[in-house]
């Protein structure tokens, strides 16, 4: 099991899909041109959101390999995957990377996963990917730019505590959190890859009230873990935000980055 329920991933999915950078997807399409007979390994796949995001934009002849340590999310992915050619591997990627490379992928993808990993893990991963010259598409890495509308005095405190929480251990050692995408991009560029990057911010308003409720409740919980003495202030903050959501008057912007990293000579 992981801390990500399929219900929460389901609520996120429309917001995620709307946020994914068209520019990066277009670079991906351009990179492979008509060469769509591909094996794609999706790491930290959850219920297979990346398949559903890319299905409308890329060709048909794909074999997906979904890798996650949470068997219940993979079981959910299996239900969604009818009609697709998909393999499933339950593997704890914090311990070993070998599942990613068997079968040998033409492309590795991930979404909303990189911010969980540590610097050491990322270095090792980038080394293993770049020695094999495999392109890597990473969507929706949280980058720390978050704001609520209408703004209030407590936002800064809760969001800074939340960002600190993002850098606590998520199973891989101290997490990169908001630094993940920039660190990964630097590592790939140092290894000689070319990178196309762009923002992929979540923008959620009255159309996504249940998503907002759960998101903000999660921020409160994380912020209290970092600043337990501020519990009352954060409770009040959440109550006010939930009231605004009930009146369709709250919206959030959550900063993310997408990037595609490809070997230089292809």
Ligand X SMILES: C[S@@+](CC[C@H](N)C(=O)[O-])C[C@H]1O[C@@H](n2cnc3c(N)ncnc32)[C@H](O)[C@@H]1O
Distances (CA, A) of 62 to 41, 65, 105, 163: 11, 10, 11, 37
Output 16 or 201, the one with its CB closest to ligand X.
Answer: 16
Residues 53-82 that bind ligand X (CB under 6 A): 68-70, 73
Which of 26, 19, 16, 22 shows the shortest CA–CA distance to 48? 16
Residue 46 found at the interface with ligand X (CB under 6 A)? yes
Q: How far apart are CA 179 and CA 189, in angstroms?
A: 16
Output 44 or 105, the one with its CB closest to ligand X.
Answer: 44
Which of 111, 152, 104 shows the shortest CA–CA distance to 131? 104
Output 9 or 134, the one with its CB closest to ligand X.
Answer: 9
- Contact present, 177 and 142 (Cβ < 8 Å): yes
Q: Which of 19, 41, 45, 222 binds ligand X (CB under 6 A)?
A: 45
- Calculate ∠ Cα 135-12-211, nearest 5°: 155
The SS3 of residue 137 is strand
Residues 109-168 that bind ligand X (CB under 6 A): 111-113, 116
Output 47 or 130, the one with its CB closest to ligand X.
Answer: 47
For residue 211, how far is the Cα from the chain centroid? 16
Give least dist CB 170 to ligand X, A: 7
Q: Which of 39, 55, 58, 171 binds ligand X (CB under 6 A)?
A: 171
Residues 15-34 that bind ligand X (CB under 6 A): 16
CB-based closest residue to ligand X: 46
Q: How far apart are CA 93 and CA 124, in angstroms?
A: 11
Candidates 38-46, 75-83, 178-186, 228-236; binding stretch for ligand X (CB under 6 A)? 38-46
Interface with ligand X by CB under 6 A: which residues? 2, 4, 9, 16, 44-46, 49, 68-70, 73, 92-94, 111-113, 116, 171
């Amino acid at each position: 099991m992981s801390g990500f329920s399929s219900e929460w991933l389901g609520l996120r999915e429309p917001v995620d899909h709307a946020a994914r950078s068209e520019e990066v997807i277009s670079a991906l399409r351009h990179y492979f041109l008509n060469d769509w007979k591909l094996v794609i390994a999706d790491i930290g796949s959850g219920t297979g959101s990346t398949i559903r995001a890319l299905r409308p934009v890329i060709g048909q002849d794909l074999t997906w390999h979904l890798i996650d340590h949470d068997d219940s999310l993979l079981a959910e992915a299996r239900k969604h995957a009818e009609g697709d050619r998909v393999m499933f591997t339950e593997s704890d990627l914090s311990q070993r990377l070998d599942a990613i490379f068997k079968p040998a992928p033409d492309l590795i993808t991930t979404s909303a996963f990189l911010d969980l990993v540590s610097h050491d893990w990322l270095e090792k991963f980038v080394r293993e990917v770049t020695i094999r010259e495999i392109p890597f598409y990473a969507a929706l890495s949280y980058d720390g730019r978050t704001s609520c509308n209408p703004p209030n005095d407590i936002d800064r405190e809760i969001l800074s505590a939340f960002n600190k929480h993002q850098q606590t251990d998520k199973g891989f050692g101290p997490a990169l959190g908001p630094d993940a995408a920039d660190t990964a991009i630097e590592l790939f560029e140092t290894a000689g890859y070319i990178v196309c990057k762009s923002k992929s911010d979540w923008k959620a308003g009255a159309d996504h009230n249940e998503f907002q409720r759960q998101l903000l409740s999660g921020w409160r919980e994380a912020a209290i873990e970092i600043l337990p003495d501020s519990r009352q202030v954060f409770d009040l903050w959440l109550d006010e935000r939930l009231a605004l959501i009930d009146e369709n008057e709250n919206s959030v912007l959550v900063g993310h980055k997408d990037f595609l990293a490809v070997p230089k000579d292809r």
